[in-house]
Amino acid sequence: MNFENSWGNELRSSSYARLEFPNTYHLAYRDLPEILAKHVKGEKALDFGCGTGRSARFLKRLNFVVTGVDISADMLGYAKELDPAGEYLLVSNGNYSHLGEGSFDLVLSIFTFDNIPGWENRRHILQALSKLLRPTGRLICLDANPALYTHEWASFSTKEFPENSRAKNGELVRISMKDVDDKRPVEDVLWTEEAYLQLFDLAGLTLEATYKPLGRESDPCDWLNETTIAPWFIYVLKRED
Ligand SMILES: C[S@@+](CC[C@H](N)C(=O)[O-])C[C@H]1O[C@@H](n2cnc3c(N)ncnc32)[C@H](O)[C@@H]1O
């Protein structure tokens, strides 16, 4: 498959750097403080696929000591600009041992695997990330529900891409983001819940919990499908004993 990381260029990065937690993004982050408090002990965190640093800054506000890593130098440039005191590092696929094996209480990955193609590639990356965890550590992986690519949302539109409904696991799907200036469609890799469960198993990770946050009347957003279909799935994982 010819897949290029959508975030590996300057126009995308500058557009993404201005994005905070509007609309459908609110639902990705709304319940995380509670989920982290429930499942994570300790403060040392790796933000895998930190992008322009939104997720790393979020963790810092919750008192985690955070290292942000990404494969896009453009995205990391903005992360450093927005948080000059923060630690943001460029990494290549699956090479993380220099970050400290067995030393992290949390590896958080938000919207990153939506950009990672291939079973073997994903397994290799997840296995390398799991080695970074302390025995009590947790890997939290937040990615799109496949239904994200076939419905309309406060933050996204997919009506121009009817072919998304025929995509199989691992294939590319397209989506338009409403909250950023750069309106070019983003390409993601479709991954079903069933495939995630198989992948976690292959990578030696045990699922501790899954969360599927729904929009509520009390949220500060004009929801479209978010009150009945969860746009994001949040998987909480631990190393197999
Ligand atoms: C949509 S952004 C999300 C950024 C951030 N986590 C957030 O919530 O704002 C996804 C990021 O994952 C990064 N990424 C994609 N593939 C990656 C890989 N194999 N290793 C590390 N980062 C990757 C991209 O470069 C991009 O910055």
Whether ligand 1 lies within 6 angstroms of the CB of 232 is answered as no
Q: What is the pLDDT of residue 215?
A: 98
Residues facing 88 on adjacent strands: 68
Please report the pLDDT score of residue 180 as a whole number: 86
User: Is 196 contained in some domain?
Assistant: yes
The pTM score is: 0.96
- Give domain status of residue 69, yes or no: yes
The burial class, CB within 10 Å (0-12 / 13-18 / 19+), for 19 is middle
- With a cut of 70, which residues of the chain have pLDDT below it? 1-3
CA 8 to centroid of ligand 1, rounded, Å:
9
Structural domain includes residue 161: no
Position 3 scores a pLDDT of 65
Residue to mutate (ligand 1; options 3, 5, 64; most atoms within 8 A of CB): 5
Q: Whose CA is nearest to atom 23 of ligand 1?
A: 49
Helix (H) or strand (E) holding 193: helix 193-202
Q: Decide if 178 is inside a domain.
A: no
Give domain status of residue 181, yes or no.
no
User: How far apart are the C-alpha atoms of 142 and 237, rounded to whole Å?
Assistant: 11
The CATH number linked to 78 is 3.40.50.150
- What would you measure as the largest C-alpha separation in the chain, in angstroms? 46
Q: Is 55 in the pocket of ligand 1 (CB under 6 A)?
A: yes
Would residue 218 count as lying in a domain? yes
Residue 155 in any domain: the answer is no
66-94 pLDDT per residue, tens: 999 999 999 999 999 999 999 999 999 99
Domain count for the chain, please give it: 1
The angle formed by the CA atoms of residues 76, 79 and 84, to the nearest 5 degrees, is 120
Q: Is residue 180 part of a domain?
A: no
pLDDT digits (tens, 9 = 90+) for 132-152: 999 999 999 999 999 999 999
Q: Is the CB of 143 under 6 A from ligand 1?
A: no
Which pLDDT value is given to residue 13?
86
The residue whose CA has the least distance to atom 19 of ligand 1 is 93
How far, in Å, are 11, 120, 133, 176 from residue 199 at the CA level? 32, 9, 18, 27
Which of 32, 115, 129, 232 for a ligand 1 pocket mutation test, highest count of atoms within 8 Å of Cβ?
A: 115
Range of the domain at 137: 10-145+192-239
List the residue whose alpha carbon is closest to atom 4 of ligand 1.
51
